């Protein structure tokens, strides 16, 4: 399978230059603090295409700051560390919403009134045009697959804060966050595009408006590239060596007869399908999709190894904090490891760019980590899962390795000491304000804060990583085939979908097999 390095990005963020939040500087700073690559894709203004002029109510529009964005992309590019892409959103209700991405930084805004005209104007440039939230109703923000150019659209956005566009009536249906554009409908889903024979890779990004670049739960794209440079990432985009996740940075490999995701190949007989996953929680299921239907589902697969009883092993777990309704303060936290080492720490933050600017992982070494964050304050009736931030840790040690956690929130502080064996045994929750419980629950009314933190149950890396395979013999005469241009005599497509027990998901790009 593909052994290229996966680089993590988010290429669909809105800022205060359209209907998002935060300045250019704030969004760039947050993006480069925890992402490998990023694209700001604000709505571009045009009276015939998208005529919402945010200046009328004292806001800004991207058109007035295009040269500023170009300059900042040039200034912030650091090959091997951080790559920005120049982008904008061509917003159209009839044809569907599409983002335009450029390889070079000197390209202009192009805003023709129809999608076919946009394709024509971009045909001479190094550009790609990516549809998103395709699963909304066609003609009302969904993707109209009657108008599609495979040369300019190598992949589609399957997931964002709107929900999943994989198929109508999906596992995470459109309208996840109450967008006025929903609910979803048949006609524009990613599977319906694939069913027409289009060779579409699969990615995810946030479409963030009220959050920040790379906000947890909203979607990320992984690009399997030779190096972290603009040309190498662009090559991965064009070759569909990409996949999408909802939040956790799940390592994912997928191949058919040795050909990795994004490949087009020929096979007259059986196909050997291989899936490798390095998750951040135990896997609930791995689904293999062939031509829009479930070919095989592996339920709660486990890794090939068990952890050594006394020797060192790696454990992955999340630490989460927030959930306060009474106060709205920043947090400070730290982890110190005794008798082991920190091997990875991944920021899993939510909230706006304005609130999270200046926060993040302040220091990281093999002995520990320090961080600050600003979770959303809980509002009555809100989706409370979003009112907490987290860090995903990987720690190597024995069962006796000690992990010392400290948290500060306003005038409150708490400490927690756990062994790796404790973390493997179960999760723990600590309130920042220690209030003794009473039968009538009166302690709630006397508390200054409801803030708390949680150390989630961990999982040994060797036990949750999976390597699966199956043989598909049902191809050719009598087998299922794609409809439309990829129908009989055309190509079958396969892709993998991974779901962790904590609900986080990943989708591979397909492999196409010519018959």
At 454-491, the pLDDT tens digits run: 999 999 999 999 999 999 986 554 444 444 344 445 79
Residue 213, number of CB atoms within 10 A of its CB: 32
Same domain, 21 and 165: yes
Quote the number of domains for the chain. Answer: 3
Same domain, 163 and 277: no
Q: How many residues does the chain have?
A: 515
pLDDT at 2 over 70: no
Instruction: Look at residues 420, 441, 461 and tell me which one is the last residue of a structural domain.
Output: 461
Same domain, 211 and 233: yes
Domain that holds residue 182: 5-247
Same domain, 268 and 358: no
Cα 375 from Cα 386, distance rounded (Å): 8
With respect to residue 223, please indicate whether it lies within any of the assigned structural domains.
Answer: yes
pLDDT at 319 over 90: yes
Instruction: Look at residues 199, 226, 247 and tell me which one is the last residue of a structural domain.
Output: 247
Same domain, 197 and 112: yes
The span from the first CA to the last CA of the chain, in angstroms, equals 21
Cα 94 from Cα 115, distance rounded (Å): 9
pLDDT score, position 303:
67
pTM of the model: 0.95
pLDDT score, position 269:
74
- Cβ-in-10-Å burial (0-12, 13-18, 19+) of 5 comes to middle
With respect to residue 155, please indicate whether it lies within any of the assigned structural domains.
Answer: yes
With respect to residue 349, please indicate whether it lies within any of the assigned structural domains.
Answer: yes
Q: Residue 79 contacts by C-beta under 8 Å, 6 or more apart in sequence?
A: 227, 228, 229, 230
193-234 pLDDT, tens per residue? 999 999 999 999 999 999 999 999 999 999 999 999 999 999
Q: What CATH number does residue 299 fall under?
A: 2.60.40.10
373-426 pLDDT, tens per residue? 999 999 877 667 789 999 999 999 999 999 999 999 999 999 999 999 999 999
Same domain, 347 and 232: no
Same domain, 146 and 216: yes
142-197 pLDDT, tens per residue? 999 999 999 999 999 999 999 999 998 777 777 766 678 888 899 999 999 999 99
Cα 232 from Cα 223, distance rounded (Å): 9
Same domain, 133 and 68: yes
With respect to residue 190, please indicate whether it lies within any of the assigned structural domains.
Answer: yes
Same domain, 224 and 268: no
3-state secondary structure 160-222: ECCEECCCCCCCCCCCCCCCCCCCECCCCCHHHHHHCCCCCEEEECCCECCCCCCCCCCCEEE
Region for residue 373 given its phi and psi (left: phi exceeds 0; alpha: psi -120 to 50; beta: otherwise): beta
Cα 21 from Cα 27, distance rounded (Å): 9
Same domain, 100 and 197: yes
Same domain, 430 and 410: yes
Instruction: Look at residues 461, 488, 505 and tell me which one is the last residue of a structural domain.
Output: 461
95-119 pLDDT, tens per residue? 999 999 999 999 999 999 999 999 9
Same domain, 236 and 257: no
With respect to residue 401, please indicate whether it lies within any of the assigned structural domains.
Answer: yes
Cα 135 from Cα 356, distance rounded (Å): 30
Cα 262 from Cα 269, distance rounded (Å): 20
Q: What CATH number does residue 16 fall under?
A: 3.20.20.140
256-300 pLDDT, tens per residue? 999 999 999 988 678 999 999 999 999 999 999 999 999 999 998
pLDDT score, position 306:
64
pLDDT score, position 3:
58
pLDDT score, position 477:
46
With respect to residue 443, please indicate whether it lies within any of the assigned structural domains.
Answer: yes
Distance of CA 228 to the CA centre of its chain: 18
With respect to residue 350, please indicate whether it lies within any of the assigned structural domains.
Answer: yes
Instruction: Check: CB of residue 390 under 8 Å from CB of residue 504.
Output: no
With respect to residue 308, please indicate whether it lies within any of the assigned structural domains.
Answer: no
411-463 pLDDT, tens per residue? 999 999 999 999 999 999 999 998 777 787 777 778 899 999 999 999 999 99
Cα 315 from Cα 281, distance rounded (Å): 10
pLDDT score, position 304:
61
């Amino acid at each position: 399978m593909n052994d290229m390095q996966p680089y993590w990005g988010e290429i669909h963020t809105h800022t205060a230059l359209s209907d998002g939040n935060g300045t250019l500087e704030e969004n760039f700073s947050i993006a480069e603090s925890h992402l490998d690559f990023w694209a700001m894709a604000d709505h571009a203004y045009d009276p015939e295409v998208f005529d919402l002029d945010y200046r009328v109510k004292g806001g800004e529009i991207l058109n007035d700051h295009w040269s500023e964005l170009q300059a900042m992309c040039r200034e912030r590019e650091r090959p091997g560390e951080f790559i920005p892409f120049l982008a904008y959103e061509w917003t159209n209700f009839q044809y569907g919403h599409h983002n335009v991405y450029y390889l070079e930084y000197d390209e202009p805004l192009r805003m023709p009134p129809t999608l076919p005209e946009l394709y024509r104007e971009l045909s001479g440039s190094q550009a790609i045009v990516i549809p998103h939230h395709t699963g909304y109703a066609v003609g009302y923000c969904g993707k109209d697959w009657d108008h599609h150019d495979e040369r300019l659209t190598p992949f589609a956005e399957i997931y964002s804060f709107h929900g999943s566009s994989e198929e109508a009536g999906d596992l995470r249906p459109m309208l996840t966050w109450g967008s006025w554009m929903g609910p979803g409908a048949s006609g524009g889903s990613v599977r319906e595009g694939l069913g027409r024979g289009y060779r579409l890779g699969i990615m995810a990004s946030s479409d963030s408006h009220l959050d920040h670049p790379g906000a947890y739960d909203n979607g990320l794209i992984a690009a399997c590239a030779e190096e972290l440079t603009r040309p190498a990432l662009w090559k991965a985009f064009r070759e569909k060596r990409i996949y999408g996740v909802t939040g956790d940075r799940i390592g994912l490999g997928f191949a058919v007869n040795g050909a990795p995701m994004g490949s087009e190949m020929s096979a007259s007989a059986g196909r050997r399908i291989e899936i490798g996953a390095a998750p951040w929680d135990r896997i609930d299921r791995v689904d293999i999709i062939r031509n829009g239907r479930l070919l095989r589902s592996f339920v709660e697969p486990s890794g090939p190894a068990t952890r050594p009883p006394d020797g060192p092993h790696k454990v992955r777990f999340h630490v989460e904090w927030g959930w306060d309704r009474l106060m709205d303060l920043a947090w400070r936290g730290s982890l110190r490891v005794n008798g082991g080492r920190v091997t990875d720490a991944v920021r899993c933050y939510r909230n706006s760019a304005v609130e999270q600017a200046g926060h993040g992982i302040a220091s990281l070494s093999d002995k520990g980590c320090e961080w600050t964050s600003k979770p959303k304050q809980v509002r009555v009736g809100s989706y409370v899962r979003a009112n907490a931030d987290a860090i995903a840790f990987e720690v190597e040690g024995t069962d006796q390795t000690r992990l010392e956690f400290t948290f500060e929130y306003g005038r409150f502080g708490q400490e927690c000491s756990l062994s790796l064996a404790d973390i493997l045994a179960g999760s723990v929750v600590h309130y920042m304000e220690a209030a003794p419980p009473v039968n009538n629950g009166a302690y709630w009314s006397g508390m200054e804060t409801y803030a708390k933190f949680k150390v989630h149950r961990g999982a040994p890396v060797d036990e949750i990583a999976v390597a699966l395979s199956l043989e598909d013999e049902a191809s050719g005469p009598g087998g299922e085939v794609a409809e439309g241009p990829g129908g009989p005599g055309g190509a079958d497509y396969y892709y993998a979908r991974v779901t962790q027990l904590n609900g986080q998901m990943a989708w591979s790009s397909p492999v196409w097999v010519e018959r």
